[in-house]
Structure 1
């Protein structure tokens, strides 16, 4: 049996400490998805390594996202935009259209 060493597991677990999440405060056991109740207040929870503990409150989805993703409010750096895909052929890319020089050649 190939078990992961305990030190690697502990490092992976400890890397998640301090992670935040926003949970909508809605009555009952109904849907808790953020897009269903964007104006509902949110409880901001923090992972302490063992359980989620209360960290704060937000008035709605927009305020909760500002707490969870503070870097999203910063302006993007200006400069040249890199090409998302480089040249080449990949599994999901369209094949190149045949050009005038790439016709079939017959040997005689």
Structure 2
């Protein structure tokens, strides 16, 4: 934490758990790696909590959506 930044503690709390900005979960619950051809709920961090951002038809599409943000951030640097 930056001692010179009075908002450092606040900004740290706004980060998502384990720095995961996007995540996916099976629609019917359970472990994420099971039943790879079932739909997934897509969630994005909004600086406070995860919000539903859409759905994906299967695990592969959900994983592509999650890594899309990472790839976009890397290409803009």
Task: State the TM bucket, normalised to the shorter chain.
Answer: 0.5 to 0.7
Per the normalisation by structure 1, the TM-score is: 0.48
Unaligned runs of 5+ in 2: 72-77
- Greater strand share, 1 or 2? 2
Q: Which is higher, the Rg of structure 1 or of structure 2?
A: 1
3-state SS of the aligned residue for 1:69? helix
Q: Is the 8 A contact 1:18 1:48 kept in 2?
A: no
Asked which structure has the greater RCO (Cα within 8 Å, sep 6+), the reply is 2
Per the normalisation by structure 2, the TM-score is: 0.64
Instruction: Please report the RMSD computed on the Cα atoms of aligned residues, expressed in angstroms.
Output: 2.8
- Greater helix share, 1 or 2? 2
Runs of 4+ in structure 1 over 6 Å off:
none
Unaligned runs of 5+ in 1: 72-108
